Amino acid sequence: MEVMSPMVRSLVEPPSTLHFPLPSPPASMHNTGNLKTPEIDVQSHDGLDSEPDTLERPYPLPPKSRLNQVLPEDLKTPDNFVERDPRLIRLTGIHPFNVEAPLTDLYDEGFLTTKDLHYVRNHGPVPRVEDADMLNWEFTIEGLVSKPTKLTLRGLLRDYEQLTYPVTLVCAGNRRKEQNVARKTKGFSWGAAGLSTALWTGVSLVDLLARACPQRGARYVCFEGADKLPNGYYATSIKLSWAMDPERGVMVAHKMNGEVLHPDHGKPVRVVIPGQIGGRSVKWLKRIVVTREPSDNWYHIYDNRVLPTMVTPEASADLPEVWKDERYAIYDLNTNSAVCYPAHDERVVLGQVEEVYKVRGYAYTGGGRRVGRLEVTLDQGRSWELAEVTYPEDEYRRAVEGDILYGGRVDISWRDSSFCWCFWELDIPLARLQEAKDVMVRAMDDSMSIQPRDMYWSVMGMMNNPWFRVVIHKEDGALRFEHPTQPANIPGGWMERVKAEGRNVINGFWGEKAPGEEDGVVEAEPAKEISMVDEKITRKITIDELREHEGEDEPWFVVNGEVYDGTKFLEGHPGGAASITGAAGQDATEEFLTIHSENAKAMMPSYHIGTLTPAALATLTSKESQPSLPDKTRPVFLQPKSWSPATLTSKEKVSPDTKIFTFTLDHPSQSIGLPVGQHLMMRLRDPSSNEAIIRAYTPISSPTEIGTLRVLVKIYYDTAGTCGGRMTQALDALPVGQTIDFKGPVGKFNYLGKGLCSINGRERKVRKFVMICAGSGITPIFQVLRAVLADKEDPTECLVLDGNRVEEDILMMKNLDEMAGENSERCKVLYTLSRPLESWKGLRGRMDRGLFEREVGRSDKEGKGEVMVLVCGPGSMEGSVKGALGGLGWEDEDLLFF
């Protein structure tokens, strides 16, 4: 039987059993914040409850949490140590973990939500903190403060007053699925359960900042977590005036519902910012930085924003200044509400139940304001009725003086602010529901801010709060209720149905007939996406038929449930046959849509052969059918049909905008497994949308290297008015210690040695390579050149023409010069610069026809095929090279573009 540590046991036993072994603290202490409170006996409370609590309390206590396990789907992810509730609905696939509870389950738990059903928003892997290390967890307070401080959890418990109070956290993406149905945003599809309430225990941020003494001119407080992500550590900021206001209730918390923080919720320490979007409450806290300006962290700028509605997802990529505009940043929550009962697809049989149905739901607002009213309409807003609203948060204001719960003082009686959701209900006769088309609700807070009727669509899909509408269907003596959407990819909801019928769900009339229209159908907006199917194809393909074609001879693959035969394109695919055979028999949707251009998508109907049956699609996309992680002890790292993770161990800057990224493989004796001249695929995920970013790279590692992988990458940074490279900037921001995924090999060219090469499986003998490159296009050229020159018996000649703007743009110049110097009889390297300094001794000007005519010459028709030109560089350069060499008689079969 496995023995649990005390910390782990505390997650599954009543909170009263929790105990931190602390060193002997002072006998008493005083709160250093603005509130005068009784002395706290740290020895008695030990920072947490250590004795059974029998006090009857006038406020709700949390329901008992469940004993969960690590779920099978998490075992192959970095979160393979985190225990989770299987009821949670995953919104972004298996990993990272972004989930909400079924709406009725969340409501049924009551005012307080267990850790089991509390929503989770993780941008990447969960930092692992062992129980034994919790008390030594460190975080700092730094920046514009007179007394920079380093704190541990032990010190937080020993030296500061502990507080316990309820807070509702809400993801800014709550109800985003409705916006995604109307028009796709950059965010994933939250339903209406992206919120939860818990009792948080910790220390007031006011106390912590007061001891650090913010300096004159400080205006913001930045928080940074320990989660390593593609664009750096997660961080954000709030105004210093808010952080220093006791009424705002900002807290550094270490307990949730009396239990040590669950790993998904920030174990061991997190920030809790009541009344603001959940994205400001940083988990796994490592740094508190006081600054003059808002955070410049990637996640503060490119997440949690409501951009103007006219900014499209396509245009947003080229508007860095818009993203950086603090006017569009979200802090306080807006007013929102939802119907929980009747549930989606709930049926009420008429004549067999009470004559009255109790419609119920939740409401919340932000900034400490209070929901003042909840209104219900059965006639689409022509008339309204007030629902009864209850505020369980108010019961905590009746706590007795000196009440200590979970080691923290319960005292919000003095505070006017409200930071929790409330519940509403209204009894409606079934006869009235039978007459109505729908039930709609709206909330108003005490600033008279009210939910709008219509949706405000924005590129991130955040803060969605139009009237919540439940449609009523009359079916065979019963009423069936239909919510707007269902979370994630779960089908259902009147919005999806209306859109499928060709109606506009945001026409102001919920897709129904607008006044003055002849019928209720609104002409659908013309589809912008290119059709990838042949409409004449009606064939249904079973999973067994698909499995028969997962080999290399007749590879079939699936995109969006449609089946394609890649056999005819094996020779012509720019990425080589391996790009197709690697996807054979698999769902290639993510990789295909991420990598391929509109032109490639337009070609797809030619290869379309049928549609997977529903059963086949379910089997293909089931957890059991997903490629498993390769065995870590395997001799070769790269796998053609599955992604393999590797860990970033170093970044070496080799030019102002270029770095060498070194990754550690699964096993120290593992070879990369990349043939000379071929490439590998690298995969990151956009932290805001979880969409995959996939690009092909040629590493500079030698074929004999084991255990490591080195990739030279030119970083395309944002410039004024232009967004840079999505992949390269994400890679540049990747913290050391983070993992990314690799797959391969891919590519149509393979150098076999001694002048023999293979192109799409056909061998060819050459006596000379002309290698033309620019910038980071040197990487595949370097790979082939090194292989040729490493073999002293290889007679193949090489001419390298490397064009750049300035000398510092020439990559791997030292390596190239050394190889050319040691092999001068068969290798020549020439550099040309378009913007050289006066001191430059090499060639000047762009690579044009004149340069090629002098150095490469016209095609030798008699020696046809003996010279091959390898080209790699920007698209504009490749185009000019092809045109110039074509004018000199070189034919396409002698030119190979990487």
pLDDT above 90 for 445: yes
pLDDT above 50 for 432: yes
Confidence (pLDDT) at 887: 83
Say if strands 138-143 and 285-291 run parallel, antiparallel, or are unpaired. parallel
pLDDT above 90 for 403: yes
pLDDT above 50 for 210: yes
* Residue 827 counted as an annotated binding residue: no
Half-sphere exposure of 770 (CA within 13 A, CB side): 20
| Mean pLDDT for the stretch of residues 484-498 | 93
Give the range among 445-459, 754-768, 880-894 with minimum mean pLDDT.
880-894
709-765 pLDDT, tens per residue?
A: 999 999 887 766 566 787 888 888 888 888 889 988 888 889 999 999 988 888 999
pLDDT band of residue 45 (cuts 50, 70, 90) is very low
Closest CA to 18 of 225, 207, 162: 162
Confidence (pLDDT) at 721: 58
Give the range among 134-148, 237-251, 364-378, 635-649 with minimum mean pLDDT.
635-649
Confidence (pLDDT) at 576: 62
Confidence (pLDDT) at 534: 87
CA distance 446 to 449: 7
Catalytic residue among 180, 304, 334, 465: 304
Confidence (pLDDT) at 90: 94
pLDDT above 70 for 391: yes
Q: Which residue has the higher pLDDT, 292 or 669?
A: 292
Strands (E), 656-810: 658-664, 679-685, 692-697, 708-714, 739-746, 749-753, 756-759, 762-765, 768-774, 797-804
Confidence (pLDDT) at 846: 87
pLDDT above 60 for 40: no
pLDDT above 70 for 343: yes
148-205 pLDDT, tens per residue?
A: 999 999 999 999 999 999 999 999 999 999 999 999 888 899 999 999 999 999 999 9
Q: Which residue has the higher pLDDT, 320 or 817?
A: 817
Spatial CB neighbours of 416, under 8 Å, sequence gap ≥ 6: 247, 368
pLDDT above 50 for 872: yes
- Per-residue DSSP letter, 323: H
Half-sphere exposure of 302 (CA within 13 A, CB side): 24
| Mean pLDDT for the stretch of residues 18-33 | 31
The three state secondary structure string of 343-355 is CCCCEEECCCCCC
628-643 pLDDT, tens per residue?
A: 566 777 899 998 888 8
Output the six-digit token pair for 90.
Answer: 């995953």
Confidence (pLDDT) at 550: 81
The most confident of the ranges 360-374, 548-562, 647-661, 822-836 is 360-374
Confidence (pLDDT) at 574: 59
Angle at 609 between CA 606 and CA 614, to 5 degrees: 135
Query: What's the start-to-end Cα distance of the chain, in Å?
Result: 57
Confidence (pLDDT) at 628: 58
Confidence (pLDDT) at 896: 84
Q: Which residue has the higher pLDDT, 796 or 527?
A: 796
| Mean pLDDT for the stretch of residues 338-345 | 97
pLDDT above 70 for 524: no
Closest CA to 181 of 471, 452, 443, 503: 503
pLDDT above 80 for 23: no
The DSSP bridge partners found for residue 347 are 480
CA distance 174 to 542: 37
Confidence (pLDDT) at 284: 98
pLDDT above 60 for 581: yes
Confidence (pLDDT) at 720: 61
Angle at 846 between CA 843 and CA 849, to 5 degrees: 100
658-712 pLDDT, tens per residue?
A: 999 999 998 888 999 999 998 998 988 776 566 788 888 999 998 888 999 999 9
Q: What is the DSSP string of 763-790?
A: EEE-SEEEEEEEGGGHHHHHHHHHHHHH
Confidence (pLDDT) at 29: 30
Confidence (pLDDT) at 634: 86
Domains of the chain plus CATH, in order, are: 336-500 (2.60.40.650), 540-625 (3.10.120.10), 644-746 (2.40.30.10), 752-897 (3.40.50.80)
Confidence (pLDDT) at 864: 56
- Tell me, yes or no, if 823 is annotated catalytic: no
pLDDT above 90 for 214: yes
- Tell me, yes or no, if 773 is annotated catalytic: no
pLDDT above 70 for 18: no
| Mean pLDDT for the stretch of residues 546-558 | 83
Burial class of residue 667, CB neighbours in 10 A (0-12, 13-18, 19+):
middle
Look-up of token digits 């096993």: 667
CA distance 523 to 513: 11
SS3 332: strand
Give the range among 226-240, 776-790, 838-852, 860-874 with minimum mean pLDDT.
860-874
Confidence (pLDDT) at 615: 86
| Mean pLDDT for the stretch of residues 493-501 | 92
- Tell me, yes or no, if 227 is annotated catalytic: no
Question: 97 with 120: CB under 8 angstroms?
Answer: yes
Q: What is the DSSP string of 812-867?
A: THHHHHHHHHHTTTTEEEEEEESS--TT--SEES---HHHHHHHT-S--STTTTSE
Confidence (pLDDT) at 597: 66
Output the six-digit token pair for 468.
Answer: 């919540």
| Mean pLDDT for the stretch of residues 313-336 | 90
Catalytic residue among 79, 264, 303, 587: 303
812-841 pLDDT, tens per residue?
A: 899 999 999 999 999 999 999 999 999 998
**What is the model's pTM?**
0.65
pLDDT band of residue 861 (cuts 50, 70, 90) is low
Residues in the chain: 898
Confidence (pLDDT) at 556: 87
The three state secondary structure string of 24-90 is CCCCCECCCCCCCCCCECHHHHCCCCCCCCCCCCCCCCCCCCCCCECCHHHCCCCCCCCCECCCCEE
| Mean pLDDT for the stretch of residues 279-297 | 97
Question: 658 with 713: CB under 8 angstroms?
Answer: yes
Look-up of token digits 């940083």: 282
Where do runs of H (alpha helix) occur along 213-325? 240-243, 298-301, 313-316, 320-323
Catalytic residue among 171, 222, 340, 827: 171
Say if strands 371-377 and 385-386 run parallel, antiparallel, or are unpaired. antiparallel
Angle at 840 between CA 838 and CA 845, to 5 degrees: 90
Give the largest Cα separation in the chain, rounded: 100
643-662 pLDDT, tens per residue?
A: 888 999 999 998 888 999 99
469-479 pLDDT, tens per residue?
A: 999 999 988 99
For the chain, give the mean pLDDT: 86
